[in-house]
Amino acid sequence: MNIYSWIQLAFYLVVLLALVKPLGSFMARVYQGERTFLDPVLSSVERFIYRASGVNPEEEMNWKTYAIAMMVFNFLGFMALYGLQRFQAGLPLNPQGLGAVTPDSSWNTAVSFVTNTNWQGYGGEVTMSYLSQMLGLAVQNFVSAATGMAVLAAFVRSFARHTAKIIGNFWVDLTRSTLYILLPMSLIVALVLVSQGVVQTLSPYKTGALLQPTTDSSGKAVTEQVLAIGPAASQVAIKQLGTNGGGFFNVNSSHPFENATPFSNFSEMLSILMIPAALCYTFGKMVGDTRQGWALLVAMTIVFVLLLGVAILAEKGGNPVFTVMGVDQAQTNINPGGNMEGKEVRFGIVNSVLWATATTAASNGSVNSMHDSYMPIGGLVPLWLIQLGEIVYGGVGSGLSGMLVFVIIAVFVSGLMVGRTPEYLGKKIEAYEMKMASIVILIPVMVVLVGTAAAVMTEAGRATIHNPSAHGFSEVLYAFSSAGNNNGSAFAGLGANTSFYNIALGIAMFIARYWVMIPILAIASSLANKKKVPASAGTLPTHTPLFIAWLIGVIVLVGALSFLPALALGPIVEHIMIFG
pLDDT for position 269: 96
Contact at 8 Å (CB) between 61 and 528? no
pLDDT digits (tens, 9 = 90+) for 174-223: 999 999 999 999 999 999 999 999 999 999 999 999 989 898 888 899 99
548 Cβ partners below 8 Å, 6+ apart? 295, 298, 299, 302
Residue 252: its H or E element: none
Contact at 8 Å (CB) between 382 and 360? yes
pLDDT digits (tens, 9 = 90+) for 32-63: 999 999 999 999 999 999 999 999 999 999 99
What is the full DSSP assignment across 117-145? Answer: ----SS-HHHH--HHIIIIIIIHHHHHHH
More confidently predicted of 167 and 468: 167
**Mean pLDDT, residues 510-538 taken together:** 90
Counting residues of the chain whose pLDDT is more than 90, the rounded percentage is 82
Least confident of 161-165, 168-172, 444-448: 161-165
pLDDT for position 300: 96
Contact at 8 Å (CB) between 390 and 362? yes
Question: What is the pLDDT confidence band of residue 163, given thresholds at 50, 70 and 90?
Answer: confident
Contact at 8 Å (CB) between 391 and 427? no
Q: How large is the angle between the packed helices 103-114 and 139-160, nearest 10 degrees?
A: 40
133 Cβ partners below 8 Å, 6+ apart? 124, 230, 231, 235, 248
Report the distance separating Cα 221 and Cα 524, nearest Å. Answer: 64
pLDDT for position 2: 79
Report the distance separating Cα 25 and Cα 239, nearest Å. Answer: 23
Sheet strands (E) in 394-526: 423-424, 427-428
Report the distance separating Cα 110 and Cα 131, nearest Å. Answer: 15
- CA angle 410/416/421 to nearest 5° reads 90
Report the distance separating Cα 479 and Cα 502, nearest Å. Answer: 11
pLDDT digits (tens, 9 = 90+) for 243-268: 998 889 999 999 999 999 999 999 99
Cis peptide before 393 (omega within 30 of 0): yes
Task: State the residue range of the domain holding 229.
Answer: 3-213+222-579
Phi and psi based region of residue 426 (left: phi greater than 0; alpha: psi -120 to 50; beta: remaining): left
Contact at 8 Å (CB) between 316 and 352? no
Number of domains in the chain: 1
Contact at 8 Å (CB) between 134 and 31? no
pLDDT at 326 over 90: no
Counting residues of the chain whose pLDDT is more than 70, the rounded percentage is 100
Closest CA to 510 of 105, 75, 102, 68: 75
pLDDT at 539 over 80: no
Cα dihedral: 555, 556, 561, 562 (round 10): 60
pLDDT for position 371: 93
Contact at 8 Å (CB) between 146 and 514? no
Q: Helix or strand or coil: residue 59?
A: coil
Report the distance separating Cα 565 and Cα 560, nearest Å. Answer: 9
Contact at 8 Å (CB) between 78 and 111? yes
pLDDT at 162 over 80: yes
- CA angle 193/196/198 to nearest 5° reads 60
382 Cβ partners below 8 Å, 6+ apart? 311, 356, 357, 359, 360, 371, 374, 489
Q: Helix or strand or coil: residue 514?
A: helix
Model pTM score: 0.94
What length does the chain have? 580
pLDDT at 419 over 80: no
Least confident of 278-292, 328-342, 397-411: 328-342
pLDDT at 356 over 90: yes
pLDDT at 168 over 90: yes
